[in-house]
Amino acid sequence: MATSVSFTIVDVFTPRAFGGNQLAVFHDAGKLARSRMQALAREMNFSESTFVIPPPTRADPVHVRIFTPRREIPMAGHPTVGTAWVLAQRGEARPGEIVLRLGIGDLPITIEGRARSPEFIWMKHKPAQFGARRADRDRIAAALGIGADDIRNDLPIETVSTGLPFLFVPLNSPDALARCVSNEAALRGLFDDPQAMLPVYMFACGPSRRSAVRARMFAPHTDGIVEDPATGSAAAPLGAYLLAHGVLPSAPRARCTIVQGVEMGRRSEITVEIARAPGAEPSIRIGGRCAIVGQGRMDLR
């Protein structure tokens, strides 16, 4: 049994250290038991940590397992982008398209840049799945510590997923977004079935289609994450939501920038791109830059 495991800390969706979303990437984790992975994720206490399992052959995808402090999840955006950045930095992934094997299956990743010097990472998402809508604006607003009139009435409160579902709550302004409060008990009370609880993702659109979208994500009730500074797994379904409801233009290719983490002092920027081909589902990908912060080893004895 391994007595130690090496890791890299990387800040994701930011070009500079100490911004964006923190991620611990544990290397050569194939011999670690699931319980040990969970313990390490809890010890790091980032919103997620990843565990890289080398493929049996060079032709096979690298297997990446993703853990929050409370549970293993099938996919997430910033852990996937950050892990790909670290693999490229270490020379374990070359520029161009690679495939990472996540809990939801194989996902294509595009690495822009030079060998051992990545510049931008794109992560393709599966087609968006739209779920239930909610009409209880008063209840949701109260749980977030804002007024019902802070929630837009021309857009739905809706569940959307490209692998991990979120409850999307459209707000009228960045000011309303800034006043939201992450309260575990209040957010837990939004869901009558404990097995159906979802992370809550609030967003406010800018005055024009070219403006950045401001966002926040609360998940203390599902994953022990009071607030997440960058949520790639929500950025892709948000792009699909904005397209479906006419906020993004219905063009062959549309892009938007999501700015998150401002209220936490960890500003992040996530680029969302949606391509449409006649008669086909929209193709969604998210992308961003990363910054390596440090490296180390964790003692397992």
Pairing between strand 96-102 and 62-67? Answer: parallel
Tell me which residue has tokens 């997430």. Answer: 76
Whether 48 sits among the annotated catalytic residues: the reply is: yes
Q: What contacts 223, CB < 8 A, 6 or more positions away?
A: 47, 68, 69, 70, 71, 73, 199
Tokens describing residue 228: 């997440």
Tokens describing residue 69: 């402090």
What are the b/e assignments for 21-51, b being 16+ CB within 10 Å? bbbbbbbebeebeeebbbebbeebebbbbbb
Q: What contacts 39, CB < 8 A, 6 or more positions away?
A: none
Tokens describing residue 97: 């398209």
Cβ neighbours around 194 below 10 Å, total = 9
Backbone dihedral angles phi then psi of residue 267, each to the nearest 5 degrees: -55, 135
Among 48, 158, 227, 269, which one carries the catalytic annotation?
A: 48
* Helical residues (DSSP H) of 22-126, grouped into ranges: 34-44, 77-89
Distance CA 281, CA 283 (A): 6
For the annotated catalytic residues, the residue numbers are: 48
